[in-house]
Amino acid sequence: MPDENELDVHIEDSEAIGYCTPGWPKNMAEVIALVNLPDGTALDLSFLTPLGSAETQACYASIKKLFPILNSVLQRQFSLNPSSLDAINSGMNQETRFHDFGADILTEREREIVQLVLIGHSSRSIALTLGVSLPTVKSHRRNAYSKLNISSQAELFSLFLLHLK
């Protein structure tokens, strides 16, 4: 097992790209939006969909439509606040701040679901991860959004970024 600073990759002749990341779900495609940031780094937004499915094409079409807006917003964010993605923050560390987000008003399960959303899980993925039904996840998300006084995932990310400041 590699240490945390090593990338664990397996060479696989059967893979189109020649390698396989351990734990990668089988028969899944990755749709990626890559935003090049002003400081030379990049932000990678990745979505998993069933390989060869209509979902993959729909996800790609949606990202293609939204990319100019997403790119503009992120470029603007990082030009105004270049340290937006800095790993070290004065005061409480990022991991603690992540786990404390919404602690004052959300239930434990609502916070768990919000945290999974923040790290990129879809409602379906959350349901599979937690072993609960999709309607249960949607109910918890709806309740959390209501308590946070927001109505979209974009507002959730914005609120979370404000929480990190």
The residues, ordered by sequence, that sit 6+ positions from 78 with a Cβ below 8 Å of its Cβ are 37, 38, 39, 84, 85
Domain with CATH 1.10.10.10 in the chain: 94-164
Q: What is the per-residue pLDDT across 77-111, written as a single tens digit (0 to 9) for each? A: 777 777 766 644 444 567 788 888 999 999 999 99
pTM over 0.85: no
The CATH class for the domain spanning 94-164 reads mainly alpha
User: Whole-angstrom Cα distance, residue 113 to residue 128?
Assistant: 12
Closest by CA position to 28, among listed 66, 61, 59: 59
Q: What is the per-residue pLDDT across 12-49, written as a single tens digit (0 to 9) for each? A: 566 555 666 666 677 778 888 888 887 777 788 888 88
